[in-house]
Structure 1
Amino acid sequence: MTERYLGSGTLPDGPYARTGPIPPHLPDRLAITLWDFSWYTRAGEGDVYADLDAACAEAAALGYNAIRICAAPLLLFGDLGVDDLAHHLEIEGLGPAASGGYYGQRTRWYDTPGGYALDLYAHLEALFVAARRHGLVLILASWEYQQSPAFAASPRWFEAIDAVPLDHRYAVLGAAWDRMLAWIDERGFRDLIALVELHNEVDFSILPAPADGGAAEVVRLRARHPDLLVTAGYGKPPHLAMHRVPDGLGAAQFHVYSYGVLDALQSRVDIRSEGSDDFPNAELRALLRADAPTPAEYGRPAEWKLRATVVTDQMVYGYDWVDAAAWDAWLDAEYPRYAEVMHREIESRVIAIAEWARWQGVPAVIGEGWVGYTPLHGGFEESATGRELAEHGIRTALDRGVWGVVLCSNAAPHHPMWQLRDWQRAMTALVRSR
């Protein structure tokens, strides 16, 4: 039997080096925990971010070496006339619900009871101090054109940034970052910055398309700070046409969610829409808690809060009142039909991101992933099934030379997944050993 020549395309690639160079003082790999805006919206007395030193100590003990946050540059350094608000930022969350409790009480990220105020300048400085003490670096981003201002008691923050004309928003963000970085420099924390993101998920925020000014502002910001990695984050990069991502980004900080079975359920119950005539439909009603009020009885957050965030009133009602056990049971029963495609989707998206970064000569970071947005007490992503999907993404990222990777978007102090200590230690050890 003779060997057949099948072309060089049949030869295996790898092993893969890092996708792009990183500053030598930064860790070889980033094991990231996603604290987003929660590090200041869940900072009331006794809450998980009230003591930032303790929170950082715990993250380090679990093996993390990087924290990704909303640094709120527009509120703190946007020169938009809200400096006084930043010094005494009253956190309300989505507000008290008409039928009792508060809106978002059983959602992820929006379960913010509020009822306190903090000096966000001081809180940020305390985070840098704690990060240095515990050997952590920070990825600084902004969620302000996506949801951060919705958690404030006052609409002034949102109104100030919303008043900026759409075509000026990237420039205002860039100028705010300049002032924030100068403030950080004065306090001696510049070496703790792993990455600066002009904004989180520019494709899912109240911003122009990245090609319409965002990438150009990243280039300008990189030129002013050549020692730093500067980029803009994508929520869903065009994985099948990565040439559409504009040039000029200093890193590929992109997200990988494979909704699969979750998307099938969300579509079935019509939970992500707004203004549906038959909401809640029969499929959602079958999954609601026995004590669920009607949407009219429950009410909705203040109109300005809904304008300030990308979630809809149907999502708030649905996640607050769905029976988490019934939700999980549906996902568990249907998952086998979607398992293969979800694994393939995670793998193909990670590879697309890594190879785009390698082509551009920049480091790749998966700052969010892996399944998607579930109710607070839904355990699908924390289950063995969800963890296996996460591990598949982590291992694929490491194999392809990705610099930084989140274990899961839900692996953070404000989520139930934080209690999976052994799993997190195993995964952070894997990330940092490769």
Structure 2
Amino acid sequence: MTAAPSPAPTPPGARENAGSSAAPLTPYIPGYPGPQALQVSGGVGQVLQIFRDGSARTKAEIGTLTGLARSTVSARVDTLIAAGLLIDAGEAESSGGRPPARLRLNERARIVIAVELGVTHGQVAVADLFGTILGEERSDLVIADGPVPVLDWVIAAAHRQLAAAGHEVADILGIGIGVPGPVEHAAGLPVAPPIMPGWDRFDITGYVGARLAGPVYVDNDVNLLALGERAQEWPEVQDLVYVKVSTGVGAGIISGGALRRGSQGAAGDLGHVRIPFDPESGRAPEDERDLEALVGAAALAELLTPEPTAPRTRSAVLELIQAGADPVPAVLHQAGRDVGAALATVISLLNPSHVVVGGSVGAASPDLLAGVREIVESRSIALSSQDLHIIPSRSGDRGGTLGAAQMVLGYVLAPASIDALTA
């Protein structure tokens, strides 16, 4: 007896939906509107889009959703099956006669490589076509060592994770890399990153692409954290700002369901916003600084460990936060007030429904979060803040790689990319 086909796994952030098999799951793809909103031109790539929400569908349902003729649907489906992108999902319920066959996306047909690079760590993951992490590897490293040794580790780790997941280099559909600095996204180039010496305009896409396979996409790490947080935890949210407080400070902006990078990819540089004097801070009136100079890990370490010989590192700050002894609560509450001062303007300008505070420092401190809420509530207009959710990040250590996977999938599963792949 032939075993029944296995059901498709639920994509990250999707919900099960009762009722007809044609009912779409909640969209989990940044910017993906769902099958009912697609403007289908009839291409193979457009047909694939209606399977990206994890649904299993019959050819008749495909025709209803796309408006394509039965013969055209069959031709498009046959092409996708031949490419390994669609597979059998069993039979649908029948109202009489032979039950129609259902199809679903073959999430293991190809894979993507997702990379997050921090100041002192790197993480490499293999993900399927839903963005589900199949395997990952994390290591301590120093981004200031320069691009060649860091990217050589990325490439070696990718090979190890590919083998562990039962895949080969030829199975890679694309590679996404997040770095802790400004990125000209269209070119894939870091541009004058202040904490990444030796990386300025280094050809990451060329270096990695020549040693692995598939197109390489590079972005600022906070943008990818925003994508990962939304995909994993808030798939229905259309307007979200992710704020990272760690060694540096930055923001990733999702507006209208899409990541907003700005014209050069520099949107979200919250760390360079000038913070006005706060009389409750204890600072001198003339002591106005950029946000990162006030709440970045080095600044917090100086406030929490005034001894000149004490370590001024992110890990030292985290140890002090976890201990929670004075003056940690007060220092972090003021740091939150400073972050809130920058965010109040962002909220008035963008009107997000959710502000997610993450990063190793931001996600670890309820005192910081309380300070953010205090200032945002006092300085934002009522309409922009009345239903605003200010919450800690929930995606944990996987946020960056989840977001890198979503970024890549947004490109490589786009209609034009699938048309080219199956031509």
Q: Same fold (TM over 0.5)?
A: no
Larger helix share, 1 or 2: 1
Tell which structure's C-alpha radius of gyration is larger.
Answer: 2
TM-score, normalised on structure 2? 0.29
